[in-house]
Amino acid sequence: MGESAVPLASGPSDPSGSTGEALLSVRGLTKHFGTNVAVDDVSFDIARGGSLAIVGESGSGKTTIAKMVVGLLAPTSGTITTCGHDRSTPARGAAERRRRGAEVQIVFQDPYSSLDPRQSGASAIDEVLALHRGGSSADRALRVAELGDLVGLDDRQLRALPKALSGGQRQRVAIARALAAEPQLLILDESVAALDVSIQAQVLNLLADVRADTGVSYLLISHDLAVVRQITDDVIVMHRGVVVERGATRDVLDHPQAAYTRLLRASVPTPGWRPRRRSEWTDAPDLSDVSDVSAG
Ligand SMILES: Nc1ncnc2c1ncn2[C@@H]1O[C@H](COP(=O)(O)OP(=O)(O)OP(=O)(O)O)[C@@H](O)[C@H]1O
Ligand SMILES: [Mg+2]
């Protein structure tokens, strides 16, 4: 369906109208893997300081979008603009790469695979500071401690190797490292999914605080609609590479218009939920059966 020309206005103060220059602007973004169309003509905006969630079942194209926005994957077609700079084609040279890194950073689900096992958090953060900020090693050490403070890591934890840290602590290192580049946009791809509930709550509170303190914008990918509700102002719902619904998070989650969004919401366990056998299902067919996903 023709989704491409509709910008998603975001920003807490103006959920419906346009808010001047977008921090991130994505238009007609498409990615083919061979014959598989993973992302099909997706468009959205994130305002400065805004936050957008991408939700949708496994394989709907969420991570592929994130990787294109951060620059780990080249789009088949479409444009990605941050702060007015195009980033849909490969960076030319180190300076351009550095500038792009200062605009967008990403934190993945599993910090263990994205952190170097031989490098302490302090050293990983320092490396990013040296690249993006420069300054003396004493200045940088001060900043490492500040960032540690921001994400709740003490000196001992900062000096430890990843294997000596808990999952939540490793994710804090990954977040601090991403923030060291002082990005305008932080992409969080299932970044709290692997954490147990209490640690998850801590990291979510941390993210809310960081946003309030620094004005960073978030692009949050999560299958957890409670997390989406807590962190984001706006949401897009993806199904098979296509945006099937978009709007203010509260509206979309409370009053979903698209059949697919209703199914997605119905498939999320809530308190009192008990698993049912497939033969008991009357109201919620398998999500993969949904072929008519018109947003009306
Ligand atoms: N590097 C790749 N090569 C080929 N196909 C890929 C590649 N990466 C992703 N795909 C395919 O693109 C589609 C979208 O994948 P993607 O990882 O974006 O889904 P997702 O929405 O992030 O799913 P999940 O919720 O499971 O993380 C899938 O069909 C996947 O198999
Ligand atoms: Mg993914």
Task: Report the chain's mean pLDDT, rounded to a whole number.
Answer: 84
Are β-strands 77-82 and 242-248 bridged in parallel, bridged antiparallel, or unpaired? unpaired
- 275 or 94: whose pLDDT is higher? 94
How many angstroms does the Cα of residue 204 sit away from the middle of ligand 1? 25
36 lines ligand 1 (CB under 6 A): yes
- Which of 73-87, 129-143, 192-206, 224-238 has the weakest average pLDDT? 192-206
* Ligand 2 mean position, distance from CA 60 (Å): 8
What's the whole-number mean pLDDT along residues 143-168?
Answer: 92
Average pLDDT over residues 130-142: 93
For position 255, what pLDDT does the model report? 94
Comparing C-alpha atoms, which of 64, 65, 36, 68 is closest to residue 52? 65
* pLDDT reported for residue 55: 96
Residue 12, pLDDT > 80, answer no
Integer-rounded Cα Rg, in Å, for the chain is: 20
User: Is ligand 1 within 6 A of the CB of residue 64?
Assistant: yes
- Closest C-alpha residue for ligand 1 atom 7: 33
What's the confidence (pLDDT) of residue 34? 96
Cα–Cα distance list, 221 to 128, 133, 148, 161, 187 (Å) = 24, 28, 24, 27, 8
Q: How far apart are CA 143 and CA 247, in angstroms?
A: 38
Percentage of the chain surpassing pLDDT 90? 55
Task: Decide whether any atom of ligand 1 lies within 6 Å of the 28 Cβ.
Answer: no
With both helix axes pointing from N to C terminus, report the angle between 167-180 and 137-151 in degrees, rounded to the nearest 10: 130
| Cα–Cα–Cα angle for 278, 282, 287, rounded to 5 degrees | 65
58 Cβ inside 6 Å of ligand 1: yes
Of 230, 164, 174, 175, the closest CA to residue 197 belongs to 230
Q: Which ligand is nearest to the CA of 238?
A: 1
pLDDT band at 30; cut points 50, 70, 90: very high
Cα 222 to ligand 2 centre (Å)? 9
**Whole-number Å distance between alpha carbons of 31 and 266:** 29
Q: Is residue 197 scored above 50 in pLDDT? A: yes
> Which atom of ligand 1 sits closest to the CA of residue 65?
18
For a ligand 1 pocket test, name from 60, 189, 242 the mutation site with the most ligand atoms within 8 angstroms of its C-beta: 60
User: What burial class does residue 146 get, using C-beta atoms within 10 Å of its C-beta: 0-12 exposed, 13-18 middle, 19+ buried?
Assistant: exposed
Question: Ligand 1: does its nearest atom lie under 6 Å from the Cβ of 33?
Answer: yes
Q: Report residue 178 as tokens.
A: 């991403």
For residue 212, what are its two tokens?
A: 């309030």
Mean pLDDT over residues 284-290, rounded?
48
Whose C-alpha lies nearest to ligand 1, atom 18? 61
Each residue of 198-227: pLDDT tens digit? 778 878 888 888 888 888 999 999 988 989
What pLDDT does residue 280 have? 55
